[in-house]
Amino acid sequence: MTNTDKDRVVIFDTTLRDGEQSPGATMTHDEKLEIAGLLDEMGVDIIEAGFPIASEGDFRAVTEIAQNANNSVICGLARANFKDIDRCWEAVKHAEKPRIHTFIGTSPLHRAIPNLNQDEMADRIHETVSHARDLCDNVQWSPMDATRTEWDYLCRVVEIAIKAGATTINIPDTVGYTAPVESADLIRNLIETVPGADEVIFATHCHNDLGMATANALGAVAGGARQIECTINGLGERAGNTALEEVVMAMKVRGDIMPWKTGIDTTKLMHLSRRVSTVSGFQVQPNKAIVGKNAFAHESGIHQDGMLKNAETFEIMRPEDVGLTETNLVMGKHSGRAALRAKLKDLGYELADNQLNDVFVRFKELADRKKEVYDDDLIALVSTGADEESQRLQIKSLRVVCGTGGPQQAELVMDIDGQEHSTEATGDGPVDATFNAVKNLFPHDARLQLYQVHAVTEGTDAQATVSVRMEEEGRIVTGQSADTDTVVASAKAYVHALNRLLVRREKTGGDTPEVSYKDVS
């Protein structure tokens, strides 16, 4: 490894695999392809596109991502058996630069699951890694729950994997158990102790159960790891994974004490964060580092005064470094298509003509109702636009009666498969009444798992972005919409989710997902 290579940290994004395991974060096929394209464009070195054996949908997504990738290595996940590995290879082999990532749980708790003793597991690791290497010359191996695996046994199995042909050894902190100093020592000691360790790349995969995923990942790099596994917005199982935007910007801002480089174009971070938030249905918390709404906001008088005199007083990085533009009054009802297209391009959105026409119509409607149209309003319009998927259900009109006395009432007219239907319903509040009305016209057994409302900007005329998550027989879908009327936004988001559910029904034929793969890596 050259000195330059020693300073280079490989970014391995697993938003489409580990990130999607976050309950309710299931993405559609087209959304996976879109996010993969954005990751590739941003400079992510390796994209873990999915778990091909999990379902036919996952296999198809990994295959198409592999076929379309321009720069990134495309990786698939496989458990430690030949069937998983063969299926993974069938998907990733279409990539110009494919990788197989195979894993097995090595801690005492995880060895008990397949009921293997140490010798039996060691044999399986040798067989499966060797098999993967026979198929692909780029093989990553992970001892799941490595941070709770006995030290002597961890060294033993890492050596076996290296001898079997693994080119990257990933050390997962599967349950967020470690701490920064320990994370650094673990990697350092493995590199110093295990024969052949100097011939492979060591990687780190950290979960955020104790809130230390970013610190633990950077600690591992200090110990000698040169690959960080991470996700956009820290999306992932339980408390999430290491956030890509955090580790990348930490190394960029503090290069004096963390002298490592990545190939990430950081100006694309904000746009990608927003898209992942939209398609996953997981809103970014306002005070989230780097990409949160308040990350560059200053309200304190002392802070504002300092910012006016010198931005560096209270900002250690520039908003434009992460692709953030200021929220200004930029558009009005007299603005034309060309101005809208140019502004959206500045915000990171390049739309086809038909998409622009759809956004333009909705922009004009918003400009007539809202005095001030901000960047965030435009982003909401694009992010919650009409799906290319089936729109069998559409809201035609909604009238809600609410107040302090008596039950709230909704009068709804919907277009269902081209025919208009109307109904009235009551409920515990206007949103509940509206959802009951939708269910009157389109009966279903889907369970509402999540209902969230977020104001896009300030003021009583602000748009509300509503997210809903629904589950039916193992299928999980999300729906989003934005409107200055919160109840209307709620109704459209609910119907958006139902339309997606109909598409899932058609594609799965009523079957539930084939494989559960929670808590892997």
Q: Is 156:164 a contact under the CB 8 Å cutoff?
A: no
Q: Of the candidates 98, 146, 109, 104, which has an alpha carbon nearest to the alpha carbon of residue 129?
A: 104
Mean pLDDT of 243-249: 98
Q: Which amino acid is at 302?
A: I
Helix axis angle for 269-280 and 375-383, nearest 10°, is 50
Q: pLDDT tens digit string along 477-507?
A: 888 888 889 999 999 999 999 998 888 777 6
Which residues lie closer than 8 Å to 243 by C-beta, 6 or more apart?
213, 214, 230, 231, 232, 233, 234, 289, 290
Mean pLDDT of 507-518: 47
Size (the chain), residues:
521
pLDDT value at residue 297: 67
Between 74 and 300, the higher pLDDT residue? 74
Mean pLDDT of 449-462: 83
Q: Which of 333-337, 398-402, 406-410, 473-477 has the lowest mean pLDDT?
A: 333-337
pLDDT value at residue 457: 77
pLDDT value at residue 389: 53
Q: Is 479:467 a contact under the CB 8 Å cutoff?
A: yes
Mean pLDDT of 46-61: 94
pLDDT value at residue 511: 42
Task: Tell me the C-alpha distance between 316 and 497, whole Å.
Answer: 40
Q: Is the dihedral of CA 206, 208, 213, 215 positive or negative?
A: negative
Q: What angle do CA 60, 61, 66 make, to 5 degrees?
A: 100
Task: Tell me the C-alpha distance between 231 and 239, whole Å.
Answer: 12
Binding-site members are: 18, 205, 207, 241
Task: Tell me the C-alpha distance between 511 and 47, whole Å.
Answer: 28
Residue 442 pLDDT grade (very low, low, confident, very high; cuts 50, 70, 90): very high
Q: pLDDT tens digit string along 303-324?
A: 334 434 445 554 688 888 988 7
For the chain, the structural domain boundaries read 9-280, 327-383, 393-508
Q: pLDDT tens digit string along 9-48?
A: 999 999 999 887 776 667 888 889 999 999 999 999 999 9
Q: Name the token pair of 197.
A: 């360790």
Q: pLDDT tens digit string along 87-127?
A: 999 999 999 999 999 999 999 999 999 999 999 999 999 99
Task: Tell me the C-alpha distance between 23 and 231, whole Å.
Answer: 15
On the 0-12 / 13-18 / 19+ scale of CB atoms within 10 A, 70 is: exposed
On the 0-12 / 13-18 / 19+ scale of CB atoms within 10 A, 310 is: exposed
**Residue labelled with tokens 């979960």:** 207
pLDDT value at residue 315: 67
- 513 bridge partner residues: none
pTM metric for this prediction: 0.82
Q: Name the token pair of 234.
A: 């820290």
**Residue labelled with tokens 């046994």:** 153
Query: In this model, does residue 430 exceed pLDDT 50?
Result: yes
The CATH superfamily holding the domain 9-280 is Aldolase class I (3.20.20.70)
Mean pLDDT of 464-471: 88
Q: Which of 210-214, 258-262, 265-269, 392-396 has the lowest mean pLDDT?
A: 392-396
Q: Is 225:203 a contact under the CB 8 Å cutoff?
A: yes
Q: Of the candidates 452, 438, 450, which has an alpha carbon nearest to the alpha carbon of residue 499?
A: 438
Task: Tell me the C-alpha distance between 245 and 237, whole Å.
Answer: 18
pLDDT value at residue 24: 62
Task: Tell me the C-alpha distance between 284 and 332, whole Å.
Answer: 28
Query: In this model, does residue 1 exceed pLDDT 50?
Result: no
Query: In this model, does residue 231 exceed pLDDT 90?
Result: yes
Which helix (H) or strand (E) segment holds residue 189: the answer is helix 180-193
Q: Which amino acid is at 54?
A: A
Binding-site members for Mn(2+) are: 18, 205, 207, 241
End-to-end CA distance of the chain: give it in Å, rounded: 27
171 three-state secondary structure: strand
pLDDT value at residue 282: 83
Produce one character per residue of 328-365: b if its CB has 16 or more CB atoms within 10 Å, e if not: eebbeeebeeeebbebbeebbbebeeebbebbbebbee
Mean pLDDT of 270-294: 88
Task: Tell me the C-alpha distance between 480 and 452, whole Å.
Answer: 10
Instruction: Label the pairing between strands 408-416 and 419-427.
Output: antiparallel
Q: Which of 123-127, 296-300, 346-350, 446-450 has the lowest mean pLDDT?
A: 296-300
273 three-state secondary structure: helix
Query: In this model, does residue 134 exceed pLDDT 60?
Result: yes
Q: What share of the chain is helix, strand, coil (3-state, %, to 5)?
A: 45, 20, 35
Q: Of the candidates 410, 430, 433, 404, which has an alpha carbon nearest to the alpha carbon of residue 422?
A: 410
Mean pLDDT of 143-153: 97
Q: Is 85:135 a contact under the CB 8 Å cutoff?
A: yes
Task: Tell me the C-alpha distance between 107 and 177, whole Å.
Answer: 13
* Phi, psi values for residue 242, rounded to 5°: -55, 130
Task: Tell me the C-alpha distance between 140 and 132, whole Å.
Answer: 9
Q: Of the candidates 34, 47, 15, which has an alpha carbon nearest to the alpha carbon of residue 350?
A: 34
pLDDT value at residue 300: 40
Mean pLDDT of 123-149: 98
On the 0-12 / 13-18 / 19+ scale of CB atoms within 10 A, 192 is: exposed
Q: Name the token pair of 175.
A: 């349950």
Task: Tell me the C-alpha distance between 484 and 143, whole Å.
Answer: 50
Structural Rg of the chain based on CA atoms: 25
Task: Tell me the C-alpha distance between 8 and 3, whole Å.
Answer: 9
Instruction: Label the pairing between strands 408-416 and 393-401.
Output: antiparallel
Mean pLDDT of 62-87: 98
pLDDT value at residue 242: 98
Average pLDDT, the chain: 87
| Range among 73-77, 272-276, 297-301, 312-316 rated most confident | 73-77
Query: In this model, does residue 162 exceed pLDDT 80?
Result: yes
447 three-state secondary structure: strand
Mean pLDDT of 394-411: 88
Fold of 393-508: Double Stranded RNA Binding Domain (3.30.160)
Query: In this model, does residue 467 exceed pLDDT 80?
Result: yes
